[in-house]
Structure 1
Amino acid sequence: MRKRLYILLLLLFPMAVQAQSAADKQVVLGILNRQVDDWNKGDIASFMNGYWKSDSLMFVGKSGITYGYDATYSNYLKRYPDRATMGKLKFTFLNFSFPGKDVAFVVGKFHLTRPEKGDLEGHYTLLWRKIDGRWVIVCDHTSS
């Protein structure tokens, strides 16, 4: 009897993990879609809600590595001071995986439509962690 129970648990465990990953994927995608909406409203402060509010947040861009939520937010404000510079954001998701427990990895492409400033596009990789029950970006590598 114990052997059957053990076999049943072994068979059900991957399905439970897969269901959890699907639910977590929907949460992360929801955050990314909300970020697009926030950006397109010109609301960088709300866009930043997807990031980990920590001095350990890492943003890697063409200028190098920026550490910390406040510094990352400040850089966004400097780089995108007005709606014309911000443009209209679109994300395309190229790869989505869960390499470990409470860890997600997203690779995608962004496109900013900016009639006055010229369009801007590039790729990004986002490392996510589930911290205190909330999915947040802990490392963002964006190249344009």
Structure 2
Amino acid sequence: MKKIIFLVCFTSTLYSFAQTSKQDDKEAIMAVLKAQRIAWSKNNIEEFMEAYWKSDSLKFYASNGVTTGWENILIRYEKAYPTEDHTGKLSYKINDITKISDDAYYVLGEYHIKRKVGNADGIFMLIFKRIDGEWKIVVDTSC
């Protein structure tokens, strides 16, 4: 009987730890997205880009093709959003955060940008990976 009670307690503890860890991961990812939203809304593209993996392997997929590499994606953003009138105020609606593996999640959502040059709305899927203890976007698909 003691073995059964121990087994139930041990299993419950593991399950609770897994759930807490998953919730902690999601909260950390949401914090990254919040920091990104604030940076964007301050017209600070470089700070916005801190959420992305600084690697030549970073990928950004959009309707006009694929851009690879952190520097190239920064240049793309700076060209597309040259002034505060273009960046405007960003908001997100997160529809799903799903664990892929111990150190990776995908995030599905919608973005809304209120701006003077015309509002912009779309959808996105991000893949976050924990790299050196930090959650970074390694793939961004936005339309």
The verdict on a shared fold, with TM-score over 0.5 as the criterion, is yes
Is the partner of 1:37 in helix, strand or coil?
A: helix
Structure 1 unpaired stretches of 5+: none
Is the partner of 2:16 in helix, strand or coil?
A: helix
Is the partner of 2:27 in helix, strand or coil?
A: helix
Partner of 1:61: 62
The TM-score, its normalising length taken from structure 2, stands at 0.93
Partner of 2:132: 132
Partner of 1:11: 12
Provide the rounded CA distance (Å) in 1 between the counterparts of 2:95 and 2:118.
24
Q: What whole-Å deviation, never above 9, does each CA across 1:48-82 have from its counterpart, x for those lacking one?
A: 01000111111001111111111111100011011
Provide the rounded CA distance (Å) in 2 between the counterparts of 1:103 and 1:22.
13
Is 1:103 aligned to residue 104 of structure 2? yes
Structure 2 unpaired stretches of 5+: none
Paired residue type of 1:42: N
Paired residue type of 2:34: N
| 1:1-144 alignment runs, 5 A limit | 5-115=6-116, 117-143=117-143
Deviates more, 1:92-101 or 1:128-137: 92-101
The TM-score, its normalising length taken from structure 1, stands at 0.92
Deviates more, 1:64-73 or 1:6-15: 6-15
State the superposition RMSD in angstroms: 1.4
Provide the rounded CA distance (Å) in 2 between the counterparts of 1:138 and 1:46.
16
Q: What whole-Å deviation, never above 9, does each CA across 1:6-50 have from its counterpart, x for those lacking one?
A: 443333212111101111111111110111110111100000010
Q: How far is the alpha carbon of 1:120 from its aligned partner?
A: 0.7
Provide the rounded CA distance (Å) in 1 between the counterparts of 2:10 and 2:58.
38
Q: How far is the alpha carbon of 1:99 from its aligned partner?
A: 2.2
What stretches of structure 1 move > 6 A for 4+ residues in a row?
none
Provide the rounded CA distance (Å) in 2 between the counterparts of 1:107 and 1:27.
16
Provide the rounded CA distance (Å) in 2 between the counterparts of 1:104 and 1:114.
30
Q: Aligned pair count?
A: 142
